[in-house]
Amino acid sequence: MIPFNFEYYKPATAREAVDLFHTLQTRDKNPMYYGGGTEIISFSRLYQLYPKAVIDIKGIPECNVLEFQNDRLVIGAAKTLTQLQESNLFPLLSWCAGRVADHTIRNKITLGGNICSRLPYREAVLALLVADCEVVIQRKGETRTEPLESIFNQSLHLDTGDLLLQVTVNKSHTCLPFFSTKRTANGDVNYPQDRIGYPVLSTAFMKNSGRIHAAFSGLCPFPFRSHELEEVLSDQEMATELKLAKAVSYLPAPILTDIDGTAAYREFVLRNTLARAVEQLEGVNCIC
Amino acid sequence: METTLAVGKSIPKKESWDKVTGAAKYNTDFNEPGLLHAWLVTSLYSHAIIKSIDKTKALEIPGVLSVVTGDSMPRLTGPVLEDRPPLAIGRVRYFGEPIAIVVADSLTRAKEAAGLVYVEYQPLPTVNSVKEALEEKSLLHEQLATYRHQKANEIFSLPGTNIANHIKIRKGNMTRGWAESEVVVDSVVKLPQSVHAAMEPRNARAEIKPDGKVIIHTSTQGPYDVKKDLSYYFNLEESKIVVLVPLVGGGFGGKTTSQLEILTLLASKAVHGRPVKLVESREQDFTSSPGHLGLEARVKLGATREGLLKAIEITCFVNTGAYTDSGTKMTRAMAADCTGPYNIEHVHGDAYCVYTNHTYVTAFRSFGRLSHTFAIERAMDKLAFALGIDPLELRLKNAIKPGHFTPTAVRLNSSNIGNLSACLERLKKLINWNEGIRIVTAHNKVRAKGISCLWKTSSSPPNATAGAIITFNRDGTLNLNVGAVEIGMGIKTALAQILSEKLQMDINKINVVMEVNTETSPKHWKTVASMTGFMVGNAVLDAAEDVIKQLCRTAAVVLRCPPEVLQVGGGRVFMKADPDIFVEFKNIVCGYEYPDGSSIGGEIIGRGNFIMHHLLPMDPETGRGRLGPAWAVGAQAVEVELDMLDYNYKILKAATVIDAGKVLNPKNARGVTMGGMCMGLGYGCREANLYDSGGVRINPQFRTYHLIRFGENPEYLVDFVETPQVDAPYGMRGIGEHGIIGMPAALANALSAAAQVNLDFTPLTPEAIWQAKKEVMS
């Protein structure tokens, strides 16, 4: 139960939502956009969040798109992880999103919510990062499209009140060969999901024109894609052992130690996973 | 004993339809006009002096009626050793300890106000482990010597230390035992505290009527203990207290002790007796209410070269947390069964109950045997390895049997011990033991098996009782009223089966009163220790005899014959010699009416009771005594597949064979055993209460505390051996807890065999196996 009162709004357009946000902001309502609500509810009940107003984005048409439009897959921010999985328009995204939380919760969690989560894992982001996707942002008075990587650095950098409307992916990238793993403290999570938990290491690898793209979650306190690391992995000449040693030196932050695993163990899992990824993606081509 | 009608049949639980349709009501489902809501203010420190509590801001919230603090009840409580203030007084000893109760007209306001009660703490050094407790880094209870208890033969505390109880077992002659031992292994194990995680969090509501009558609605396994405790703590006559318990949503021992009942009564007193409801959040259930003990144990085990056990020295340190509750009793229970189900002549056992600044503990499914068995069974596997004997053969060779003596010197017979060897033989086939303990399969994978034996008796007081009342309806159907709580295990149905069998009548004609009301249901000690079927079952049989006697007395008049020639069955009383001469229940249970209207007989009311017999407290110096009426023994196995590259593993199979005496309800017995096995595997592979260096719980919710999920379960193989316990209903043995006992040990034995490294701890995560491997290799 949430032990405080808050205002609830459900605007019908993206513009209206953003304008409302700014109005509420000036009235000190500490507004938050509301997608599936899993974090707002579970954190608010423990006073870890304290919004005085929430703006439900599920009524905004752009946020509810899930289809190919011309040469791009367009995914609205309010689509649930279950919907992404069931449509399976982008298999790697199904894998990454489909191992978050459990099925009941994924019926609520939205793609936008997962990208903007306060938790450090945000595993759906991994598929989006390696697929070079773009994001559509509603700002005050304008809609802008930008590459995800240009504004995703540890987290999605939006100005106050900006609303993530959609994610779009080049159609040809949705069917590139991929390899994706998730390890929790209790062991591997396969796909379809057979185990639940936060990642010790969650990965997404994609092979595009001979080059391996790689993104990681659970390793550092944020999900990331590393181009330096990709360079090493994609090097045809380098021996695997050397690749692994080099790759580990290209991490953007020290490896995490928490209740799910120590840094030393995470590094052990990372090395094993990288070796498997290189082996799996060797010589494979587009799955379309 | 041949049974035909109901015993031995998989009769669905009587409450199932209500449960599967969602119509079943649990304690928190009930509301009433004028009900007030309470919320706890709990400690943010594991050990600190409370310098001040400022309620001002909280009381300013509209709708807040009271903020109750420790000064409202300046006395200590506890089921054995009275060491715990229901609300902290001047000092907190664990993170989550209740400090104040906010009472308001809505839950929202109570919760909001609880955040505005300001507590000023002065931190004290934290005792964060058994080791730190024994080093006396800090003393938790300086006044230990002055604490009251009513069980002089159970409590041997060591004032001036953190040891609340010390139980000794001395049997045989250790010098001789070690002299006869040609091979000796030494084994140390460490197991963490965990939580019960019942689906229904703990909750209660209390009300004081204008005439002073106290009404408690609670989710408990021990309604009569709640009544007794409140009477004692609040100085009330027991006739002034009514405890009502509907269906309980799981307990696993966590609902055996009085805690929230005391707090809600305090809260109700503060608001002039108005009804107050207190429901713990999951976080509070995990941190403020008692959990499952931790254990550190050392086992030294000696045997001849042929593998005959000769001597054991075992030392157990129970982490009881900040207060003892059932900790002292579980320490004693562990000591009493300390050899495991093996015949060992020379035994030297010490069990200590140790205070730490962790959440305090209470009964947990198996009452300590789960942890203690891990210590014994790891040592058995190490001994088997040292001797080069098959682990299952070693256990068979030493399996306890009729004629042997237990660590507390109870002489065993077939009725009180059953047949462990038969369980092992059956298990051997079930798990296909002969194919080999460790088999290398493809891709760096190995498949391995591990086993564990188990035994458990109860630790009930020597005067524990149970009662049963049978009343009739006009149509000849009947009502069974007992004090056993239905907590999911199907006890009410099992009791109906016993009655149905005894009266030889259709079980559908027996209505069982689902709720327990201490005002009208006959007393039962409490629904714990796998003893309910045995105790209440015997009371039901006694009540059935009483009913039969009364039925035959009235029928004898009607049928014009002596009662001795009559028999009861099929809802009739009939002549043994000629069943066509009969009278139906419906014509005699409320008196028999002659055609002219004159009547005889009167309403038939059956009463039955049972009291434990020949139980004896343990001798303080040697441990000699008898804690329970009989043991149930069993053998378990786990099969795993381990990836030798990354130590990820799968539990493929889990098997259990228990000597159930007589299986009352096969599907239910299988279900309750599988449930226990699942719980044991969860504890073995992942569950643990985690604390930071300051003793603050860092995984107090399901987000971070993981149980085994549905899809992770292995294939369960469950079977039973039937060696009757002659003084139990139809020969049955209590097996409700037993499925859990050997699972962590069997898992550790399987993984140790697979990884070829000694794994002497839980939780057995892939990282922990990797770590153990790394340490051995470096």
Cβ distance of B766 and A187 shorter than 8 Å? yes
> Are A185 and B649 inside 8 Å of each other by CB?
no
Q: Which residues pair with A143 in a beta bridge?
A: A138
| Mutation for testing the B interface, residue in A186, A260, A270 having most B CBs under 10 Å | A186
The C-alpha atoms of residue B362 and residue B529 are separated, in whole angstroms, by 13
Give the CATH number, domain containing residue A43: 3.30.43
Residue A47 near chain B (CB below 8 Å): yes
Q: Taking CB atoms and an 8 Å cutoff, what residues of chain A touch B765? A: 185-186
Which of A3, A45, A194 has its CB closest to that of B712? A194
Q: How far is CA B527 from CA B259, B362, B484, B524, in A?
A: 17, 14, 6, 8
Q: Does domain B294-460+616-777 have CATH number 2.40.50.140?
A: no
**Do both A107 and A183 map to the same domain?**
no
Cα Rg of chain B (Å, integer): 27
Structure confidence at residue B3 as a pLDDT band (50, 70, 90): low
Q: Answer yes or no: do A157 and A240 share one domain.
A: no
Distance (Å) of CA B423 to CA A174, B313, B392: 56, 26, 11
Q: Is the pLDDT of residue A288 over 60?
A: no
> Any idea which residue has 């006395």 for tokens?
B75
Classify residue A93: in a domain, yes or no. yes
Q: Give CATH 3.90.1170.50 domain extents, chain B.
A: 31-126+199-250+255-287
Alpha carbon distance B391, B219 (integer Å): 43
Query: Which residues form the domain of A49?
Result: 7-56
Residues in B touching A200 (Cβ below 8 Å): 767
In a domain, A1, yes or no: no
Rounded to a whole number, what is the distance in Å from the CA of A136 to chain B's nearest CA?
32
Classify B661 in phi/psi space as left (phi over 0), alpha (psi -120 to 50) or beta: left
Angstrom distance (rounded) from CA B233 to CA B237: 11
pLDDT at B515 over 60: yes
Residues 172-231 of A with CB under 8 A from B: 183, 185-188, 194-197, 200
Same domain, A206 and A270: yes
Query: Strand order of the sheet with strand B566-569?
Result: B566-569, B572-575, B578-584
For residues A233 and A181, membership in a common domain is answered with yes
Domain boundary among A173, A207, A225: A173
**Is residue B403 scored above 80 in pLDDT?**
yes
The pLDDT tens digits of the residues spanning B267-305 come to: 999 999 999 999 999 999 999 999 999 999 999 999 999
Where exactly does CATH 3.30.365.10 map onto chain B?
16-23+464-611, 294-460+616-777
Tell me: pLDDT of A285 over 90: no
d(CA B568, CA B585): 9
Tell me the backbone φ, ψ of residue A39, rounded to 5 degrees. Answer: -80, -40
Percent of chain A beyond pLDDT 70? Answer: 99
Helix (H, G, I), strand (E, B) or coil at B269: helix
Q: Given an 8 Å threshold on Cβ–Cβ distance, is B711 in contact with A262?
A: no
Taking only the tens place, the pLDDT of each residue in A60-109 is 999 999 999 999 999 999 999 999 999 999 999 999 999 999 999 999 99
**What is the rounded distance in angstroms from the CA atom of residue B539 to the CA atom of residue B727?**
12
Compare all CA atoms of chain A with the CA of B685 and give the residue at the minimum distance. Answer: A186
* Averaged confidence pLDDT in chain B: 97
Confidence check: pLDDT of B102 > 90: yes
Last residue within a domain, chosen from A143, A173, A203: A173
Cβ within 8 Å, pair A195-B283: no
> Cβ contacts (< 8 Å) between A46 and chain B: which residues?
283
Reported confidence tier of residue B710, pLDDT bands at 50, 70, 90: confident
Among A233-247, B224-238, B630-644, B716-730, the minimum mean pLDDT is found in A233-247
Domain match, A226 and A253 both: yes
C-alpha to C-alpha distance for A205 and A154, rounded to whole angstroms = 18
- Looking at the partner chain, which of A186, A194, A196 has a beta carbon nearest the beta carbon of B765? A186
Read off the CATH number of the domain in which A123 is found. Answer: 3.30.465.10
Distance from CA of A279 to the nearest CA of B (A): 14
Please indicate, yes or no, if residue A125 is contained in any of the structural domains: yes
Q: What is the pLDDT of residue A286?
A: 55
> B304 CB near a chain A CB, below 8 Å?
no
Q: Output the pLDDT for position B2.
A: 61
**Judgement on whether residues A159 and A184 belong to the same structural domain of the protein:** no
CA nearest to A105 within chain B: B703
pLDDT tens figures, B424-451: 999 999 999 999 999 999 879 999 999 9
Q: Which residue in A has a C-alpha nearest to residue B106's C-alpha?
A: A3
Pick from A46, A197, A269: CB nearest B646? A269
CB contact A279 to B (< 8 Å): no
Q: In terms of CA atoms, which chain B residue is nearest residue A101?
A: B703
- Interface contact flag, A3 B646, Cβ < 8 Å: no
Kindly indicate whether the domain formed by B31-126+199-250+255-287 is annotated with CATH number 3.90.1170.50.
Answer: yes
Chain A nearest-CA distance from B638, in A, is 17
- The secondary structure element, H or E, covering residue B381 is helix B369-387
* Closest partner CB to A197 (pick from B112, B706, B771): B706
If asked whether residues A85 and A183 sit together in one domain, one would say no
Kindly state the DSSP code that residue B29 receives in the 8-state scheme.
Answer: G
User: Quick check: B158 pLDDT over 90?
Assistant: yes
Query: Can you give the CATH number for the domain in which A191 is found?
Result: 3.30.390.50
Chain B interface includes A143 (CB < 8 A)? no
CB B734 within 8 A of CB B660: no
Residues B641-692: pLDDT tens digits? 999 999 999 999 999 999 999 999 999 999 999 999 999 999 999 999 999 9
Contacts of B649 in chain A (CB under 8 A): 187
Q: How far is A280 from chain B (nearest CA, A)?
A: 15
ipTM: 0.96
Residue A286 forms part of a structural domain: no
A155 and A186: one domain?
Answer: no
Cα atoms in the 13 Å half-sphere on the side-chain side of A280: 16
CA distance B585 to chain A (A): 52
Residues B76 and B315: beta-carbon distance below 8 Å: no
Number of separate helices (H) and strands (E) present in chain A: 11, 15
- pLDDT > 70 in chain B, percent: 100
Number of A–B residue contacts, CB under 8 Å: 55
Which one of A139, A173, A207 terminates a domain? A173
- Residue B711: pLDDT band (50, 70, 90) is confident
Q: What is the pLDDT of residues B608-632, one digit of tens each?
A: 999 999 999 999 999 999 999 999 9
- Does residue B698 sit at the A interface (CB-CB below 8 Å)? yes
| Total domain count, chain A | 3
Query: Do B709 and A196 count as a contact with CB atoms less than 8 A apart?
Result: yes
Is A288 part of any domain?
Answer: no
Q: Is A99 on the interface with B (CB under 8 A)?
A: no
Residues in chain A: 288
Chain B CB contacts of A3 under 8 Å are 107-108, 111-112, 115
Of all residues in chain A, the one with the smallest CA distance to B280 is A1
Tell me which CATH code domain B16-23+464-611 carries: 3.30.365.10
Please tell me which residue of chain A has the smallest CA distance to B645: A272
**Shared domain check, A101 and A46:** no
Strands (DSSP E) found in B644-768: 649-659, 715-721
What confidence category does residue B524 fall into, taking pLDDT thresholds of 50, 70 and 90? Answer: very high
In this structure, what DSSP letter does residue B522 have? P
Helix, strand, or coil here: B153? coil
Q: Do A183 and B111 touch (CB under 8 A)?
A: no
For testing the chain A interface, which of B283, B643, B646 should be mutated: the one with the most A CBs within 10 Å?
B646
Give yes or no for A280 touching B (CB within 8 A): no
Q: Is residue A136 part of a domain?
A: yes
Is there a single domain that holds both residue A70 and residue A32?
Answer: no
